[in-house]
Structure 1
Amino acid sequence: MIRIAAECANTLGEAAAWDAREGRLLWLDLVEPALFGYAPATKAASRLALDAPTPLGPVIPTGRPGTLLLAHPAGLSLLDARTGGLTPFVAPEQGRAGLLYNDGKVDRWGRLWIGTSDAAEAEPRGVLWCLAPGAAPVMADAGFVVSNGPAFSPDGRTLYFSDSIGRRILAYDIAPDSPKPTGRRVFASFAMDEGLPDGLAVDAEGGVWVAHWDGWRITRFSPEGERLRVILLPVPRVTSLAFGDPGLATLYVTTARLDLSPVMLAAAPLSGHLFAIDAGVEGLEDRPFPLD
């Protein structure tokens, strides 16, 4: 069953993340900068306007109550989730012009993997970074126009990453003692009519779920890359995914209405809302980034 969890009409809803400490889903509008929250226990939604440069990147729960990591064009900052205050934290790209932080997740060992993208979406200048607590950022891979994903297998040893403009999901082998992934391979490829692979989530069975930008759907793949299930949505621009709720059996889906024509908006008036899907399988809990 597909239902609307929050009627938020985001211009560019993105970066869904389940905050287990708070028992709520977090997500962002990347271009109308705001932090959103949805508490399933009360069905209450919240919005905190952010005074930050746009477009935003991901928002990442941390091990510190009331503090999140927020990416924006200048780098990553600590975000006070009560006031919206920002404190600079780290800038892997060191201000390299024309690059944006686009998506990131924390692996089973507490490292943040975050990708950057070419702001013009034309040149393969994007980088996949690995940031371990207390360590300098390490370049893990490079050569992407638009970075998306990432997500991790249940044992933590496979990293999935969306090379969106390349219309493919890559898989890598990762290990707890090295920030350098190995064994890069194509996990899945996408036809023109399937849209672009965007955000990813992995369930407890190892199934890989992908949001399709301009594809009106999400798809679940087996760990071997076989298409297992397609769920059609009433909106074209599907952006990110996160499992949440007690038992992690609900798949939350962010969407966008960015640059949709009046004709398209009339055909897809629910664009930009937050959706919830009974996935039929348990998810994996998002790991917080340890600050202390």
Structure 2
Amino acid sequence: MRPEVAVRERAALGEGPTWDPATGRLTWVDILGCRVHTYEPTRGRRTVMATGQHVGAAKPRAGGGLVVNLRDGIGLYAADGAFSWLVHDPVAGRRGNDAAVAPDGALWAGTMRYDEQPGGGTLSRIAPDGSVTEILDSVAVSNGTGWAPDGSLMYYIDSPTRRIDVCRVDGPRVLDRRPLATVEEGAGFPDGLTVDADGCVWVALWDGAALRRYTPRGDLDRTVRLPVRRPTACAFGGPGLRDLYVTTARTGLDRPHPLSGSLLVLPDAGRGMPSPAFAG
């Protein structure tokens, strides 16, 4: 598998690619650039929307528009672009980070401190009506979140731990959390993830210039080298959900690769699962 350039961009901190099967469009964010990007590969069409504050994730809503994990809480964009707060909860020194929509249509959204202090972040479940259940209250950098094909298991990354964790899910409860795999020192830090139709977990390695694929048993069965040092997250999209899109970052690099900050794609990398839309 050789990566290709889907969108050449200079995003400071590209993150959170999500394929919307209803529109045939990929949505991703530049967290520090306060931008939400979309890309339609069949037409080559792009859009860019400013959010006005740091945006950790943007996910499609069932009725159109987006739900966004912002610095100060969870926001909603209607299909016509009108904005409203679903959860407004500003905390000094903290921002929203990665997020994912569960099979039941709820949003699981992470936060982190700007200084990445351990214990300063959270993972919460936001129901469609805006009610919040705090799942984890003491994480550092809340990152990749995804579910097994049957919805019974959830995978989760708190990046500084170097672990990809797995746990059972019972509604809004997380049970029996344990390490699925650990990324060794020198190989980078696990960042965003996606789960494919075989139940395998693809993980982007920040400072590792690679993607890894782990089996449901935690065995490493594939490594894909990338030209950029800081891939951040990945998601399947395109026809048949067979193309793997990868967001990247250039922030903090003295001499970033020319493609750092671009959206990359690995054509025909596997087979993904449809991403549920936020039900709110």
- Which residue number corresponds to residue 227 of structure 1? 220
Q: Within the alignment, does 1:278 sit opposite 2:267 as a pair?
A: yes
- Which residue number corresponds to residue 120 of structure 2? 125
- Which residue number corresponds to residue 76 of structure 1? 74
Q: Within the alignment, does 1:150 sit opposite 2:139 as a pair?
A: no
Alpha-carbon offset, residue 132 of structure 1: 2.2
Q: Within the alignment, does 1:53 sit opposite 2:50 as a pair?
A: no
Aligned residues of 1:150 and 1:160 also touching (Cα < 8 A): yes
Q: Within the alignment, does 1:19 sit opposite 2:15 as a pair?
A: no
CA gap 1:82/1:192 in 2 versus in 1, 3 angstroms: farther
1 CA distance for matches of 2:207 and 2:79?
31
SS of residue paired to 2:264 = strand
Aligned-residue CA RMSD (Å): 1.4
Task: Report which stretch shifted further, 146-155 or 72-81.
Answer: 72-81
2 CA distance for matches of 1:230 and 1:89?
39
Aligned residues of 1:154 and 1:204 also touching (Cα < 8 A): yes
Task: Report which stretch shifted further, 125-134 or 215-224.
Answer: 125-134
Aligned residues of 1:23 and 1:39 also touching (Cα < 8 A): yes
1 CA distance for matches of 2:174 and 2:268?
30
- Which residue number corresponds to residue 155 of structure 2? 160
CA gap 1:135/1:122 in 2 versus in 1, 3 angstroms: closer
SS of residue paired to 1:165 = helix
SS of residue paired to 1:96 = coil
CA deviations over 1:76-127 (Å, ceiling 9, x no partner): 11124654x4211114xx3333222111111111121111112211231211
CA deviations over 1:127-157 (Å, ceiling 9, x no partner): 1111222262111122211000101100011
Gaps of 5+ in 1: none
CA deviations over 1:231-256 (Å, ceiling 9, x no partner): 00000010111110120000100001
Give 1:100's aligned amino acid: R
2 CA distance for matches of 1:81 and 1:71?
17
CA gap 1:96/1:35 in 2 versus in 1, 3 angstroms: closer
Normalised by the size of structure 2, how large is the TM-score?
0.95
Alpha-carbon offset, residue 44 of structure 1: 2.3
Alpha-carbon offset, residue 279 of structure 1: 4.5
CA gap 1:81/1:236 in 2 versus in 1, 3 angstroms: farther
CA gap 1:9/1:135 in 2 versus in 1, 3 angstroms: closer
SS of residue paired to 1:69 = strand
Q: Within the alignment, does 1:88 sit opposite 2:85 as a pair?
A: yes
Query: Which segments of structure 1 move beyond 4 Å, counting only runs of 4 or more?
Result: 80-83
SS of residue paired to 1:247 = helix
Q: Within the alignment, does 1:111 sit opposite 2:109 as a pair?
A: no
Paired residues, number: 279
Normalised by the size of structure 1, how large is the TM-score?
0.91
CA gap 1:126/1:279 in 2 versus in 1, 3 angstroms: farther
Give 1:42's aligned amino acid: R
SS of residue paired to 2:190 = strand
Q: Within the alignment, does 1:205 sit opposite 2:198 as a pair?
A: yes
CA gap 1:204/1:64 in 2 versus in 1, 3 angstroms: same
Gaps of 5+ in 2: none
Aligned residues of 2:209 and 2:229 also touching (Cα < 8 A): yes
Aligned residues of 2:86 and 2:130 also touching (Cα < 8 A): no
